[in-house]
């Protein structure tokens, strides 16, 4: 039995080790209240704080948040500018709190398109928290699952071209080692808020065996209680990892 199957033999997992969240619905929340998109995104920061706090309380090992996708650059320029300003503000204001609570911050994605000042702020936040041992908070910014996989394939191809790697040696494990989050536990649970049921190019490789919860709340309405509800839903799932129910029942006997 493989390691993944061994994990699957636990039919009723009590707690996910790694949770990923697609934070969706800020714009719709704002429009329903006659507010600007920027105000909706600012309201979403409160949910961000609540969820990070709750994840840390529940001893989640890793929490990955989809903050800004590679496709989000297509949004109106005013909204993108407001998002960049908010990202900078949140990094400046929140990183000390994260550090004080033993939370480690990492940012994944292609940073080259961000301003140099924002790139420097990202690096400072990561440097400050890099030795913390509590929750690992991972923010996906200018991230796309296809970008992630293509980059991994390109790096493996370069190793083959350099004579460091034989093509026959490229397997799932080799590709996984080049993918973002390869040193984290596999994603156990992916939550998307706002009722939408798609993954929008988020962690395409890493979500292969994740459980999904599509929460009805718009992101600014998603709080600690909603997070707990998603944890409860995960607890009720039977994770098979390709096995049959009978195999799981025998393994758990």
Q: How far apart are CA 134 and CA 101, in angstroms?
A: 8
Check residue 247 and give its pLDDT: 64
| Catalytic annotation, residues | 24, 72
pLDDT level of residue 14 (50, 70, 90 thresholds): confident
Which one, of 25, 1, 14, 58, lies nearest residue 188 by Cα?
14
pLDDT tens, residue by residue, 23-81: 999 999 999 999 999 999 999 999 999 999 999 999 999 999 999 999 999 999 999 99
Q: How far apart are CA 198 and CA 82, in angstroms?
A: 25
Q: Which fold has domain 15-144+187-237?
A: Undecaprenyl pyrophosphate synthetase (3.40.1180)
Mean pLDDT rounded to a whole number for the chain: 91
From residue 147, alpha-carbon distances to 54, 117, 142 in Å are: 30, 23, 10
- For 56, other C-beta atoms within 10 Å of its C-beta total 17
pLDDT tens, residue by residue, 100-111: 999 999 999 999
The mean per-residue pLDDT over the stretch 132-136 comes to 98
Of 26-30, 70-74, 84-88, 238-242, which range is least confident? 238-242
Domain boundaries, the chain: 15-144+187-237
């Amino acid at each position: 039995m493989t390691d993944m199957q061994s994990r699957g033999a636990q039919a009723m997992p009590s707690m996910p080790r790694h949770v990923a969240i697609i934070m969706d619905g800020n714009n719709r929340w704002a429009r329903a209240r006659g507010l600007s998109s920027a105000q909706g995104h600012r309201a979403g920061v409160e949910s961000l704080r609540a969820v990070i706090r709750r994840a840390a309380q529940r001893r989640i090992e890793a929490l990955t948040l989809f903050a800004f996708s590679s496709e989000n650059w297509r949004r109106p320029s005013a909204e993108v500018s407001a998002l960049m300003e908010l990202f900078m503000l949140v990094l400046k204001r929140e990183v000390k709190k994260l550090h004080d609570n033993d939370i480690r911050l990492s940012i994944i994605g292609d940073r080259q398109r961000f301003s140099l000042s924002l790139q420097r702020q990202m690096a400072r936040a990561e440097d400050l928290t890099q030795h913390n041992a509590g929750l690992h908070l991972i923010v996906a910014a200018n991230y796309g699952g296809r970008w992630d996989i293509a980059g991994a394939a390109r790096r493996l191809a370069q190793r083959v071209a350099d004579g460091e790697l034989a093509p026959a040696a490229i397997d799932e494990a080799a590709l996984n080692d080049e993918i973002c989050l390869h040193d984290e536990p596999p994603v156990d649970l992916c939550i998307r808020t706002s009722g939408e049921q798609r993954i929008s190019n988020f962690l395409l490789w890493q979500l292969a065996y994740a459980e999904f919860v599509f929460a009805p709340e718009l992101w600014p309405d998603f709080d600690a209680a909603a997070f707990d509800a998603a944890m409860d839903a995960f607890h009720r799932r039977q994770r098979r990892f390709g096995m049959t129910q009978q195999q799981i029942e025998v393994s758990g006997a």
